[in-house]
Each structure stands twice: as C-alpha cells, then as structure tokens.
Structure 1
Amino acid sequence: MAYIIGTILVIIALIIIGLILRKRVYDVVDKYEAWKMDIMDRNIATQLGRIKRLNLSGETQEKFEAWKERLEFIITKELPDIEEHLFDAEEAADRYRFSKAKKTLNNVDQVLNAIEKDIENMLHEVDDLLESEETSRTEAESIEPNIKALRKVLSQNRYQYGKAERHFDIKIDELEEKLTTYHDLVASGDYYEAKQAIDDLKVSLDALEQQIDEFPAIFKLCKHELPAQLDELYAGLKEMKEDGYRVDHLAFEKEIRAYREQLLNIVNQLENGDASGAEEMVTEIGERVKEMYQLLEKEAIAKNYVENQMPSYRYSLDKLSNTFYDTKTEVEQLRQTYYFEDSDMESYLALEKRITSLKNQLEELSNDMETADTSHSQLREELENGFQQIENLQQKHEEFKKRIHNLRKDELEAKEKLREMREELYDTSRKLKKSNIPGVPSFIWNMMETASGKNSLVMKTLEKQPLDMAEVQHALNESKQAIDNVIEQTDVMLEQAYLTEQVIQYANRYRSQYPLLASKLSESERLFRSYEYELALEKAAKAVEEIEPGALKRIEAYQEVAASHSS
C-alpha cells in the first residue's frame, strides 16, 4: 500500500514539475513573441526612407538597396521563421521535451539579437550619412565665400606679394578645383568621399589663409627692411672707420655680405611660394643686426672713455708712484734704525713690483692707442682694470705707511712704559723704606733686583740698531710681569706685618692670664723681628684664636676700616 502511495506521489510531483517547466517555456515564448511583434511594429522602412532626400546614386544608392534588401529579408523570412520556431517550442513543451524546447528558444534569441544589431547598424549608418551630408554642405557653404575673399585680398594687394602672387593664384585655383570635386561627389551620391574632400579642403584653406596673411610682413622684411638696415649698418661702419674708430676686429663687412646673399636667396624662395625657414632666418638676422649696433655703440663709448680717462689714469699712476717714492725714501732711513719684519718687507717689495708693472702697462697702453691694432673696447677694459689696481695699491700703500709709522710710535710707547715701570719700582722701594717694620725679607730685595735688571734689558733692546720692536715688546712684557710680581709680594708682606702687630697688641691683654699664650706670643715676636712675617702672623693668630675664637676676623675687619679711613 505504501509503495502505491509513494508511486502516486512521485507521479504527482513529476506532473507538477512538468507543468512548471512548461509554464516557463510558455513565458519565454511570449517574451520572444512580443519582441518579434515590437520589431514588426517599428516603422523602420520610414526611417530608412529619410535617405531618399539625398541623391540616390553611386555609393548612396548601393547602401540604400542593401538596407532595403536586408529589411525585406527580416520581415519576409526571418520573422516568419521565428513564428514557426516559437510554435515548435510550445509543441515540444506540451510533449515535455524541454531540452528541445530550450534549444529552439536559444536559436530564436540569437536570431532576434542579430536582427536588432542589423537594424541598429542600418539606422546608425543612415544617421551618419545624413550628418556627413549636412556637415560637409554647411562647411562648403562657408568655404566658398572664404575662397573668393582670399582671391580678392590677393588681387587688391598684389604689390605686397611680388612674384609669389602667381604661386598663391595657383593655390587658390587648386582650392576651387577641390570645391568642384566636392560638388561632383555630392551629385554622384558619394557623400563619405565628399565629406573627406571638404575636410581636406578646409585644412588646405586654413593653411593658405595663414600663408597669405603672414607673407607680406616676412616678404617686406626680406625684400626691403632688412637689406636697408644692412646697408645703413655698412655705411655707419665705413663712417666710423673714417672717424678713427677701431672696428676691423669685429669683421662685420664679411658678415653683412653673407646676410645680403642669404636674404636674396630667401626672397627667391618666397617668390616661388616656399616660406620654410624664412621666419627663423629673418629673426636671426634681425637680432644679429641689433647686436652689431650695440657692439658698434659700445666701441664708440669705449673710444670716448679711453680718450677722456687716459690723462686721469696717467695722473693717478704718477701720483701713486711719487708717494711710493717718498715711502721708499722713508723706509731706507727707518731700516737704519728699526728692524723690519719679513711680512712688512714682502708687502713693501710687492708694492714696488706692482707699481713698476703698472707703469710698464701704461707704456704699452700708450703704444696701443697710437696704433690701430687694439680695439677701444679692449683698451677700456685694460684701463678700467688699471684704475682698479691703482685703487687697491693705494689702499695697500696706506696700510703699509701706517705700519712703518707705528714703528716710531711703538718705540715712544715702549719708552713711556719703561719710565712708568721704573717709577712703580721706585715707589715700591720708597714704600718699603717708609714702613715701620723691622726689616725687609731678602726675597723681596731679590725680586726687586730682578725687576730692575729686566728694566735695564728693555733699555738695551731700545738702544739696539736697528731696533727690533718685537724684541722690545717681549722684554717689556717680561719686565712688567716682574714688577707686578714685586708690587704684589710687597703688598702681601706689608699687610702680613701690620696684621701681626695688631694681633700681638690685641693678644697682650691675655698675656698675664695665660702663660702658654705669652710663650707663643714671644715666639711670634722673635719671628717678627727676624722678618718672618708670614710665620709670625700664623703663630700669633693661632695663639689668640685658642683663647678667643673669631678674634682674627675682627682684627682684620678693624684693620680694613682703619686702612680705608687713612686712605
């Protein structure tokens, strides 16, 4: 029983699946049927018929016949065949032959897509052909008056084109022939070729318009203006030579002749209708002519400068030479008294050498001015360089003069410093003699003797011939250091002695109470009388600090106050 029920259920399921699949086939058939009807309902023939307003001949006739034949084949053959294929697909679906139905529908889909593509291509070609016809016709309508205007411009301005007028006439004739060719192609229905012809004609017309527009200016430059400028330049060059200007080195005559020949060749080239390279050559010649004028002007200015500045240059060099001669005389005298450093002598000899060189250059410059071999521009450069060298030498000369004048100044300053150091040493000695101390330690006298000896050494170096100021300065520094040391040590020694006296006097108040303190003070007094002031101060200060801590600081403070009042 279960087997029977299962079988029945399977059969029912198969029937349902079959119905679903058959429904799907029917839906696809309906879709393709609607697509087919849509194609049939389109007014394609009318759209193709738009081409009839053109000349139906030649290429256009061939295309129209091909499109018409293809459309008829679609309507009479392919679309009816599709109807049969759709019927076959439904019949196969009714018999549950779904594989065959699917295959048939796939073929229908391919055919319909092919028909759609063919129709799209036909309509696109129609639009393209109509657009090409309209565009070329519009361009042709605008080109024709432009060609007439171009011929009018050429006719009214023939003198501006010279022999090139014939070349441009021929070119305009060629444009008119191309326009005629376009009209012939249109009449024969070859609209694509006509479009290409009008495009080529437009390019040629634009190029010719530009040539005719630019030609007069270039032709005028090459035929008249630049040759006139070269003639004027040549005449000016000749006149400058007659007036004494040195322009041979510029070699402009040869260059001018070469440019004249180039301009003749360019004019012949232009009259034959060939303007290639003409603009570049015109620009090059024009710029070079300007440059030539600038160089000639520079030479004229240089001549005026040289003639006006040469006396000033000679005067400046003579003045420098004379002042250096005075310095030279002074150096010879000073060398007998003073020692010159190697660097100073090198500077002096370098000055002499460069001044001599400038004088020789002046003679060469004078000779060059008498001859015509050297341009005034070069002479000006040499003259300006000479002025710069004179200025530099004047500065170096002044610096050298200051250095040699400083020799005498340094000697006087050294003697003044020696006098001051002697007074300082004398004041220190007098200070020692006026002090109330028992005596002066021997090391102080030894230091004073050393300082005095160094003073004597300074005097000896000052008396040497020639005088070496470097040696004098070294001796001065050593003497100064020795004297400063004497003064410092003397002040320290006297301060120690005075402080020792103050400490002993302060400590005497405790002498009777502290026997040990009395003994130490006696030792300090013995050292004080033996000129051992540093040890005496140390002993006395230590003794009093043991009895009264801080006493030494108070004594020192009191002594400083007393010293400030006394000063």
Structure 2
Amino acid sequence: MVGYIIGGILILIVVIIIGLILRKRIYDEVDQHESWKMDIMNRNVSGELQRVKSLNLSGETQDKFETWKSTWDQILTRDLPDIEEYLLDAEEAADRFRISIAKKNLAEVENILQNIEELIERMFKELDDLLDSEKQSRKQIEDMQPRIKELRHSLLQNRYLYGKAEPIFEAQIMDLQQLLDRYQEEVGLGNYYEAKDLVTQLTDSVEEVAEKLEEFPLIYKKSKNEIPDQIKDLLAGIEQMKEEGYRIEHLGLEKELNNFLDQLSISVEQLENGDMFQIYELIQAIEERLIEIYELLEKEAKAKSYIETHIASVKSNLTSSINDFNSTNEEVKQLQQTYYLEENDLELYAKLDKWVHQLEKQFAQIEMDLESETQTYVTLKDQLKSSKDDLEQLHHSHQEFKEQLQTIRKDEVESREKVLRLKKELFDTNKKLQSSNLPGTPSHLWNLLDEATDRSDVVIEKLEKQPLDMGEVMHALSEAENTVNALVDQSNALIEQAYLVERVIQYANRYRSKYPLLATKLQEAETKFRNFEYEQALDTAANALEEIEPGALLRLKEFVDIST
C-alpha cells in the first residue's frame, strides 16, 4: 500500500515538473512575440512612406500613398493590439496549465506577425519600384529629348534625300514629341507607372524612326536612281550582245529586268508613302540577281571567245585523228593477215574505233548548234572543251595502241634474231665438244643437244605459221633459250672437268712411285676418265692428291682458270 502511495507521489511530481517546463516555454515564446511586436511598432515605416512625397502626390501615386498609410494605421491600431490580447490570453492559459490553449493563441500571434511582415515588405517593395521607375523614366526622357531634336534637325538639313516622304517623317517625329508631352502630363498627374509605359513606347519609337531616317536615303536612292540606271545599262548591253550574235534571247533576261523596273517603281511609291516594309529585302535580292546576270553575260562572252579561238584547231585535230586512225585501221587489217592479235588488243582497237566515231558525231552536233543558234555559247563551250579533252585522251590512247602494234613486229624480228643466235650457239657447242680431244661425250649431253635443237626448230616453225601467234612464239622461244643455256653450261663444265682431271693426274704422277695407294687411285681415275665419267674421275684423283699434298687442287684450278 505504501508503495502505491509513493508511486503516485512520484508520478504527481513528474507531471508537475513537466507542466512547469511547458509553462516556462510558453512564457519564453510570449516574451519573443512581444519583442517582435515591439520591433514592428518601433519601425519608422511612416518615415519611409514619406519618401513618396518627393514625387507629385496625385493620381495613382496619391492612391498608392493612401493605401500604404491606411495599411500601416491598421497595423498599429488594430493588428498589434489584437496581438497583445492573444499574448495575455496565452499567459493566463499557461498559468492554469492549459498548454494547448496557450499554444493556439501563440500560433495565431505568429500568423498575424508574419502577415504584418509581408505587408510591410510589400509596401517597401512597391515604394522602391515606384521611386526607381520614376528615376529610370526621368533619365531615359533626359536622353530622348535631345535625340528627338537631333532627328528633327537631321530631317530639316537633309530633306532633299527623302523626297515626297519628308512630310511623313516629319509627322512621325511630331508623334514622338506628342509621346514626350503625354509623359510630362502623366508625371504631372502622378501616374508614374503609366509614364513608364510611355517611356518604353517612346524609346522603341525613337529607335525605329532613327533607323528609318538612316536607311531611307540609301534605299530610296537605290530604288529610284542607282538600280534602275544599272538595269537600263544592262538592257542596252544585252541588246548590243544580241546584235553581235550572242545566244541569250532564250534566257528571258529583258523580261526579267523590265519586271525589276516595275517592282522598283512600285517600291519608290511605297517609300514616298513612308512604307519601307520588305523593300530592303527586295533591293538586296535584285542586286544579287544583277550580279548573277553580269557573271552570266561575262561567261557567255568568254565562251564565245573560247569557241572562236579553239573550234578550228579542234576540228583540225579531229580530222587528223580520224585520218591517223584510218591508217591504223588499214595496218590492223594487214597485221591480222600475218599475226594473231590478242583479245585485249582487239578490244582496245574496237574501243578506239567507237571513240573516234563518237567524237566525230559530237563535233558535228556542235557545228549544227552553232549554225542553228539554239544553244548558248556557255553550253557549246563546255561541249567543245569536253570534246577537246577527249580528243587529247584519244590521241594518247591511239599512240599507245600503235606502239603495241609496233611491239608485235619488233617481237617477231627479235625472236628471229634470237633463234638464229641459239642455232649458232648449238653449232658452236657441238663443234667445241668435238674438238675438245675428250675420250668421249656422255649420252645425256647429246640428248640435251638434240632437245635444244628440236626446241629451236619449234620456234622456227611457230615463226613461219600464218597468222603468226607471238604468244606461242615467245613461249617456245623461252623454252628453247632455257634448254640451250643448260646445254652450254653443262658442256663448258664438262670440258673444264675433263681438262682439270688431266692436270691433276699429270701433277700426281710425281708421287706415283712413292705412294702405292695413290698409284691405285690414279689408275682408277684414269679408267673412269676413259669411260667418260669425268666428274667421278676428278673426285677420285683430287681426293688422292689432297691426301699427299693438301691445297694442290686449288692451285691447279687457278692454273686451269688462267689457261682458259
């Protein structure tokens, strides 16, 4: 039982402590809000609002001032006293430990104070905006006034540059002055926001009029005088070119230029009425087109000069090429009777034939177009230049083909000369073998001689064949050359080996009586020599000699080389 009592007492103590802490927090918040309220009450809001009195306090400015003053009075006489009551209610509720009611009152105070701060901030911002607006507008007006005077002075001094449009620009400047006067009126009435809008409108209008006054004389002068005069000169030049034979009638330039004159005439009327809309773009487009026409006529003149300069030479070169190809044509026919022409040679010949006829046809068309006057010189120049370039390429290709034909004949002559040389080499080799005083010649060498003779005869047969196939001739000649060269090399090697064997045996005989084994080897070498086995005989004799006198074979070889 005692435990329950003690527990209850402890709980009561805790509750009381918590209540005291919460009440203390309420008191602290009351003090904070009281300080916030006093801070607002002591602010010099009225003094700040008095700044507006530097302006004309009438119209919308007067309305603004009255609204701000009324708002501040309401804050002082109504909102702040209401806050005081809420704070007292919060303290009383805290005294009675009615914490939730106290917090509700403090929340209401917080809301009111926050709204007051926002109202004050909004008033100050509106005040600053009004003062800044007035200041900026006044500065801009100070800049605009001399600009308007300058525009009027410039127009008066240069009125001759504006023609009939001068009164229109004068009226636009008067409109600027009226905007300026309206600004002064609105300022006098205290309508500074309306005045600011007028300043913006006036600034844009001044810039627009200034730009027009600057651009108008140039556009007006070009539209009325410069470009029409340029077009008339161009029309006269076109007429003169037509009289001189230029093919420009179908280009329709005169119609296009006269249309430009009509458009410029309309543009002048628009300019004199003060309308510059899209006229600058029209002038720019016409000027660009005139440059294109000048370039076109210049190209036509250069093309005519080019044709007059080159057409005779192109015709002469074409005639020469045709005659030259006709000669080649006859030569090909003769060659086909004697030689077998390769497929690629015949294809190249057919291509050249087609090329010649095509160029002949193209040039004939150019001459017809010159006579009929249906094409511009620029077009004909391109065609003539293309024909001229093709003619040069044709000449180059034709020369290469002629060289190929000459090569066929040259190959035949060279092949006949080579086969004669091969025959002579065979004869000389045979004679050399027979006069070499050898015991005999190996059968494989005679077989090789027969083969080389047969292959040389095959070349001669190919050369006598009609039509002559140089491909077959060259192949047979290559085989014959290889065989003859092999025969010559092997014959020379054989004779050299045989001679060297004799020298080795003769040299080794000095040791024959002293060295019985050497004598036996030399006897064996002599037997092989008589059996036409010259290479084996050399190996046997040389090895035996080297065992007795190392290095002797090398010295004998050098001696044999010197002797031969």
TM-score (normalised: structure 2): 0.86
| Separation of aligned partners in 2, 1:551 and 1:336 | 72
Give the letter for the 2:250 counterpart.
Answer: H
Matched, 1:241 2:242: yes
Q: Deviations over 1:240-262 (max 9, x none)?
A: 11122222132211211222222
1: distance between equivalents of 2:214 and 2:251? 38
- Is 1:438 equivalent to 2:444 in the alignment? no
Partner of 1:341: 342
Identity of aligned residues (%): 45
Task: Deviation per CA, 1:329-383: give whole Å up to 9, x if none.
Answer: 5555555554443433443454444345444544443444344333222232232
Equivalent residue for 1:27? 28
| Letter paired with 1:563 | V
- The residue identity in structure 2 corresponding to 1:171 is Q
Q: CA deviation at 1:91?
A: 3.8
Q: CA–CA distance in 2 between the matches of 1:206 and 1:308?
A: 59
Structure 2: distance between partners of 1:99 and 1:246: 106
Aligned partners of 2:180, 2:514: CA distance in 1, in Å? 148
Q: Over residues 224-280 of structure 1, what are the superposed CA-to-partner deviations in whole Å (9 max), with x where a residue is unaligned?
A: 222111111111111111122222132211211222222233333333333222222
Preserved CA contact (<8 Å) 1:18 1:96: yes
The amino acid of 2:559's aligned partner reads: A
Task: Assess if the C-alpha contact under 8 Å between 1:168 and 1:273 holds in 2.
Answer: yes
Tell me, in whole angstroms, the C-alpha distance in 2 between the residues paired with 1:147 and 1:336. 102
1:444 Cα deviation (Å)? Answer: 1.6
1:311 alignment partner AA: A
> 48-57 or 472-481: which moved more?
48-57
Partners of 2:307 and 2:345 in 1: how far apart? 36
Find the aligned partners of 1:14 and 1:371 in 2 and give their Cα distance: 123
Query: Over residues 485-540 of structure 1, what are the superposed CA-to-partner deviations in whole Å (9 max), with x where a residue is unaligned?
Result: 2223334544665576678775994998569x95x9877755543435566678x4
Match of 2:291 in 1: 290
Alpha carbons 1:22, 1:94 under 8 Å: kept: yes
SS in 1 for 2:163: coil
Please give the alpha-carbon distance, in whole angstroms, between the structure 1 residues aligned to 2:183 and 2:323: 96
Which stretch has the larger CA shift, 448-457 or 359-368?
359-368
Bigger Cα displacement from structure 2, 207-216 vs 315-324: 315-324
Paired residue secondary structure (2:90): helix
User: How many residues end up aligned between the 2 structures?
Assistant: 561
8 Å CA contact retained: 2:500, 2:557: no
1:259 is the counterpart of 2:256: no
For the 8 Å contact 2:545–2:552, the answer to whether it is kept is no
Using the alignment, how far apart are the partners of 2:203 and 2:170 within structure 1?
A: 17
State the partner residue of 1:217: 218
2:559 counterpart of 1:562: yes
- Tell me which residue corresponds to 2:308: 307
Unaligned ranges ≥5, structure 1 = none
* Segment drifting more, 129-138 vs 17-26: 17-26
Name 2:472's counterpart in structure 1: 471
CA deviation string 1:279-312 (max 9, x = no partner): 2221111111111111111112222222222332
Match of 1:455 in 2: 456
Report the secondary structure of 2:375's partner residue.
coil
Q: Could you tell me whether the CA contact under 8 Å between 1:185 and 1:193 is conserved in 2?
A: yes
| Rounded Cα–Cα distance in structure 2 between residues aligned with 1:343 and 1:360 | 26
- Whichever residue aligns with residue 59 of structure 2, its letter is G
Matched, 1:422 2:419: no
Letter of the structure 2 residue corresponding to residue 566 of structure 1: S
5 Å matches for 1:67-216? Answer: 67-216=68-217
Moved more, 354-363 or 210-219: 354-363
**Structure 2 CA distance, aligned partners of 1:510 and 1:352?**
88
What is the TM-score of this pair, normalised by structure 1? 0.86
Distance (Å, rounded) in 2 between the aligned partners of 1:173 and 1:443:
128
Distance 1:411 1:15, change over 3 A: closer
Which range moves more in the overlay, 42-51 or 31-40? 31-40
Q: What are the within-5 Å matches in structure 2 for residues 401-420 of structure 1?
A: 401-420=402-421
8 A Cα contact 1:407 1:469, kept in partner: yes
Separation of aligned partners in 2, 1:109 and 1:458: 126
Alpha-carbon distance change, 241 to 321 in structure 1, aligned in 2, over 3 angstroms = same
Residue identity matched to 2:560 = A
Judge conservation of contact 1:499–1:556 (CA < 8 Å) in 2. Answer: no
Distance in 1 between residues matched to 2:34 and 2:352, nearest whole Å = 117
Distance 1:204 1:535, change over 3 A: same
Q: Is the 8 A contact 1:503 1:552 kept in 2?
A: no
1:116-142 alpha-carbon deviations (Å, 9 max, x no partner) = 221111121111112112222222333
Q: Quote the Cα distance in structure 1 between the aligned partners of 2:423 and 2:43.
A: 136
Q: Secondary structure at the match of 1:244?
A: coil
CA shift, 1:50, in A, is: 1.7
**Structure 1 residue identity aligned to 2:478:** N
Check whether the contact 2:304–2:377 (CA below 8 A) recurs between aligned residues: yes
Alignment of 1:534-545 (within 5 A): 540=540
Whole-Å separation in 2 of the counterparts to 1:113 and 1:360: 100
Q: Which amino acid aligns with 1:233?
A: L
Instruction: Indicate conservation of the 8 Å contact 1:502/1:555, yes or no.
Output: no
How many angstroms does 1:95 deviate by? Answer: 4.0
Letter in 1 for 2:300: E
Note if 1:394 corresponds to 2:391. no
Q: Distance in 2 between matches of 1:552 and 1:169?
A: 134
CA distance in structure 2 between the partners assigned to 1:42 and 1:260 by the alignment: 76
Question: Aligned-pair distance for 1:439?
Answer: 1.1
Following TM superposition, by how much is the alpha carbon of 1:96 offset from its aligned partner in structure 2, in angstroms?
4.0
How far off is 1:221 after superposition? 1.6
